Amino acid sequence: MSTLHLDAEALYTDLLAGVRTLLKPDCALVGIWSGGAWLAERLQRDLKLPGEHGVISSALHRDDFGSRGMSGSADHTRLPFEVEGRHVVLIDDVLFTGRTTRAVINELFDFGRPASVTLAVLVDRGGRELPIQPAFSAARIALPRGQRLSLARDEQGHFSFDIEDAA
């Protein structure tokens, strides 16, 4: 059990304000599966953006396929809009090494050439292994490498954080 208390709902409010400043005309929100997708879904609603948010998976472009294999999870990329020439705002719950973001950007480019890609995250926990930077993060914290931080959502749609020791 961690003694660190992160108020996910409070951070969401900050994220909402931050993303609002990043919006360009006719941009698209794309949430990184799974936590980012939940955030994008709520942001799309709260920002009253037209159309639908996208969901993107890193599964097909992961750099650890050789050791971890094909994931058994049901994450599929679903982008219900034209990527070509679009400003895309990627939303994720936790930014850590940056590898998931790299994989997701590759996946995005398989669909077309966006006009720009911006990254907004709920929590930046440092530990970057690639040159990836968010345009906005609601919180910056340091966590031991051995711990996993992830977003959870209950039946009412409220967000909270799970911290576990990584296997």
Partner 1 sequence: MLSRRNPQLNAHGELIHLLSIEGLPKAVVTQILDTAGTFLSVNEREVKKVPLLRGKSVFNLFFENSTRTRTTFEIAAKRLSADVINLDIARSSTAKGESLLDTIANLSAMHADMFVVRHSESGAPYLIAQHCAPHVHVVNAGDGRHAHPTQGLLDMYTIRHYKRDFTNLTVAIVGDIVHSRVARSDIHALTTLGVPEIRAVGPKTLVPGDLREMGVRVCHDMAEGIRGADVIIMLRLQNERMSGAMLPSAGEFFKNYGLTPEKLALAKPDAIVMHPGPINRGVEIDSAVADGRQSVILPQVTFGIAVRMAVMSIIAGNNP
By CB under 8 A, name the binding residues for partner 1: 57, 59-61, 65-70, 72, 74, 76-77, 106, 110-112
Q: At closest approach, how far in Å is the CB of 76 from partner 1?
A: 5
Closer residue to partner 1 in complex, CB, 1/70: 70
Closer residue to partner 1 in complex, CB, 6/59: 59
55, 104 Cβ separation under 8 angstroms:
no
Largest CA distance in the chain: 46
Strands (E), 86-135: 87-95, 116-124
123, 122, 129: which is closest to 143 by C-alpha? 123
Q: At closest approach, how far in Å is the CB of 70 from partner 1?
A: 5
Q: Check residue 89 and report its DSSP letter.
A: E
- How many CA atoms lie less than 13 Å away from 19 in the CB half-sphere? 31
Q: At closest approach, how far in Å is the CB of 115 from partner 1?
A: 17
Closer residue to partner 1 in complex, CB, 42/53: 53
Q: At closest approach, how far in Å is the CB of 65 from partner 1?
A: 5
Closer residue to partner 1 in complex, CB, 5/68: 68
Residue labelled with tokens 């400043």: 21
- DSSP β-ladder status, 87-95 and 116-124: parallel
